[in-house]
A = this chain, B = another copy of it.
Amino acid sequence: MSAVAPVLDRLDKNLDQSLERLFELLRLKSISTDPAFAGDCRKAAEWLVADLKTIGFDASVRDTPGHPMVVAHHDGPEGSPHVLFYGHYDVQPVDPLNLWEDDPFDPKIKEIAGGIKVITGRGSSDDKGQLMLFVEACRAWKDVHGGLPCRITLLFEGEEESGSPSLKPFLEANAEELKADFAMVCDTGMWDRETPAICVGLRGLVGEEVIVKAADRDLHSGEYGGAAANPVRILAKILAAIHDDDGSVTIPGFYDGVEETPSQVLKSWETLGETAENFLGEIGLSIPSGEKGRSVLELVWARPTAEFNGISGGYTGKGFKTVIAAEASAKVSFRLVHKQDPEKIRAAFRAFVRARIPADCSVEFHEHGAGPAIQLSYDSPFLAKAKDALSDEWPKPAVMLAMGGSIPIVGDFQTLLGMESLLVGFALPDDRIHSPNEKYDLASFHKGQRSWARILDALTKRS
């Protein structure tokens, strides 16, 4: 009998208990971007440490200038590889709260259309549900075998949803402790409910906040309208200039380092059968808004973007106020691919904005994180093994794909610790991560635990 079979049995039997543990973690309001929830972030870190200690990990809460890290170590058999597993315990804000059908911080099991059972709540999919998969796999392995199949280090971050300001310094300061043979990251998704996926490409990210300042006070639009600069108008003009009519980004130098996706890769994506109608139909849209002449999968997996994530200025309450605001601001992010340089993009954006600010107005910028794109090689030694392990668990064989989101940690592992990452996750396109009514399929939570046990087995087997 293989080493993994009894572990899989154990995971099946302990599903209810593993759900109880997940629910405890989901109830903690660890919203990292809002300082009001700093205490909840710490509680989540402390909860994880306490839980990991019950498995036998040498676990600790590690302070940073922001939210704490959780680091845990467990020995493995002599000569086994050393694996670093990464997840994040922080979550996105929950506004607009009125759109949630269930309390975002009171998780429950619910049946949705098609008889599918899901776990509701903020963080159920991104990323508390996913990080607990690996913890449960370790717990079951330890229970069954009295030890783990390899040396394992866990790193759980609390600032992934707010630009990870403490991550790089922490990796640099603790490089020796954290460096492993390779990393495993569970913050990605499946292709569909039957098809697991390994992600080999991830877009990078640059986050910027721009504040345009005009008059030294809010003005009456009757008294000053037509004469005084309006920062909303200036900001709208700047944002509108960032894309041309074909959806391309006009900032000079923006496409430096962007490569065309190899045609065989594009062809393999074509076989997935995704269409714009399908992909966008799920969210009530139908027309791709990005660069013309490219498939939706190429647009979100392999093309860079400029997106406006928030805008604010003047009176935004109920009713009307005939005001010309003193300032207006926008949160802007760029998704990067291939070799685009985040800091060059940031500088180019700022120059683009500054060139459009009238001489009697001013502009202020705030930085909100940066990370380059990741492109893994399709022929990593552990990739084939992981693919087989996943294919054993799920109805359909695993596929290799790219992802539109950014997981800066993967770049940092590469540049700071010299580790490649295996990116496997079990989120689904309808999980509504970052949106109201986030959920995680119960099947993802169950078979995800089993998948990680299989992957651990496959990558540590001496054959």
| Chain A residues in the interface with B (C-beta under 8 A) | 32-35, 92-93, 95-96, 99, 161-163, 203, 205, 207, 209, 214-230, 232-233, 235-237, 239-241, 243, 276, 279-280, 283-291, 296, 299-300, 303-305, 307-325, 328-331, 333, 335, 358-361, 368-369, 403-406, 429, 432-436
Contact = CB atoms under 8 A, between A and B. Distances in A.
**Residue of A232, A286, A308, A330 contacting most chain B CB atoms (<10 Å):** A308
Given A226-B303, A309-B324, 9 more contacts: A34-B319, A162-B320, A163-B320, A207-B322, A220-B435, A221-B305, A225-B333, A320-B333, A322-B406
A362 B431 CA distance: 25
Given A219-B434, A296-B227, A314 B287 contact: no
B283 A219 contact: yes
14 contacts: A217-B283, A219-B435, A220-B405, A220-B433, A220-B434, A224-B404, A226-B303, A227-B276, A230-B289, A286-B359, A308-B314, A310-B316, A320-B331, A323-B434
A99 B325 CA distance: 13
A325 B227 CA distance: 32
Contacts of A240: 233, 236-237, 239-241
A314 B221 CA distance: 25
Contacts of A296: 227
A318 B219 contact: no
A216 B284 CA distance: 5
Contacts of A325: 309-310
Contacts of A429: 223
B228 A360 contact: no
A320 B209 CA distance: 8
Contacts of A335: 221-222, 225-226
Contact of A311 (B314, B322, B434): B314
B309 A434 contact: no
A404 to B, nearest CB: 5
Nearest to A99: B217
A95 B321 CA distance: 11
B285 A361 contact: yes
Contacts of A406: 222, 322
A232 B310 contact: yes
Contacts of A219: 283, 434-435
Q: How many copies of this chain does one complex carry?
A: 2
A259 B334 CA distance: 46
Given A300-B223, A310-B323, A280 B209 contact: no
Contact of A316 (B233, B311, B369): B311
B300 A227 contact: yes
A318 B66 CA distance: 14
Given A221-B307, A287-B358, A436-B218, A318 B33 contact: yes
B225 A404 contact: yes
A192 to B, nearest CB: 14
A228 to B, nearest CB: 6
Given A216-B283, A233-B243, A314 B309 contact: yes
B312 A316 contact: yes
A221 B317 contact: no
A403 B226 CA distance: 12
A313 to B, nearest CB: 5
Nearest to A315: B310
A311 to B, nearest CB: 5
A311 B310 contact: no
Contact of A33 (B32, B239, B280, B319): B319
**Residue of A203, A310, A317 contacting most chain B CB atoms (<10 Å):** A310
